[in-house]
Amino acid sequence: MKLKRAPEYRRLLLRTRPKRYVNLFRTIYERRCRSIVEIGTWNGVHAEEMIRTAAAHSDIRSVRYSGFDLFEDLTDEQSSSNSPSAPHLSSGSRAAGANRRLIRGNTRDTLPRATEILRNADLVFIDGGHSIETIAADWMAIRDVMGPATTVVFDDYYPNAGPELAGLGCHSLIDQLDPGAYAVEVLEPTDEFEQSWGALRVRMARVTLVRST
């Protein structure tokens, strides 16, 4: 079953909230990603959209999705039989037909053991634990195995972060990446959320290996 390509994709971009998530779908659509890894699946709502976007260019059965999460807050009812699950990825969902795999556990343990999945990924979305330490550990597991065709998208880039965000987000990691080794784009749009301390601004960042000539 194929997504009705361009019209449905354009509708997805128009309805996407928070707005910065358009970057995820654009990356999958424009780079024709079929093998997707999400670090921090949560309830699977964006996983489903990513799978559907990947299916715009090929049969949904050729799309592979691997989701890593603690999956500890799901009720037994939400989980399918004995395996960890997420409601939006259940067998009745619009993402049905894709090859889906959910890996439960702390990514500090699960990612270093998942080199085969990471090595073959077209897109890795890093959106799990938000502490600098966890993001750095997730990135290191990916960095060591990513190939020239892998695009890594980070959520939680906080531009001009103040003391309220100390210890959180990927901005310090992204800003320190070696430009000789990595092509880095900090993407628009910026989402803005009012907090008791002021405006929380969030962007996504996209990283690939610099192509050697």
Ligand X SMILES: C[S@@+](CC[C@H](N)C(=O)[O-])C[C@H]1O[C@@H](n2cnc3c(N)ncnc32)[C@H](O)[C@@H]1O
Using CB under 6 A as the criterion, which residues of the chain lie in contact with ligand X when the complex forms? 38, 40, 42, 45-46, 68-70, 106-107, 127-129, 134
Please, what's the b/e burial string for 36-64 (b: 16 or more CB within 10 A of its CB; e: otherwise)? bbbbbbbbbebbbbbbbbbbbbeebeebb
C-alpha dihedral sign at 47, 48, 49, 50: positive
Instruction: Provide the minimum distance between the beta carbon of 102 and ligand X in the complex, in angstroms, as a whole number.
Output: 11
Instruction: Provide the minimum distance between the beta carbon of 212 and ligand X in the complex, in angstroms, as a whole number.
Output: 32
Instruction: Provide the minimum distance between the beta carbon of 199 and ligand X in the complex, in angstroms, as a whole number.
Output: 19
Among the listed residues 111, 95, 91, 17, the one whose alpha carbon sits nearest the alpha carbon of residue 63 = 95
Q: Give the 3-state secondary structure of residue 146.
A: coil
Nearer to ligand X, 107 or 209 (CB): 107
Nearer to ligand X, 110 or 172 (CB): 110
Gyration radius of the chain's alpha carbons: 17
Instruction: Provide the minimum distance between the beta carbon of 42 and ligand X in the complex, in angstroms, as a whole number.
Output: 4
Q: Estimate the crossing angle of helix 22-30 against helix 45-54, to 10 degrees.
A: 20
Nearer to ligand X, 106 or 172 (CB): 106
Nearer to ligand X, 3 or 103 (CB): 103
Cβ within 8 Å of residue 172, ≥6 positions away? 132
Among the listed residues 135, 121, 125, the one whose alpha carbon sits nearest the alpha carbon of residue 176 = 135
Instruction: Provide the minimum distance between the beta carbon of 181 and ligand X in the complex, in angstroms, as a whole number.
Output: 26
Nearer to ligand X, 36 or 63 (CB): 36
Which secondary structure element, helix H or strand E, spans residue 139, and what is its range? helix 132-143
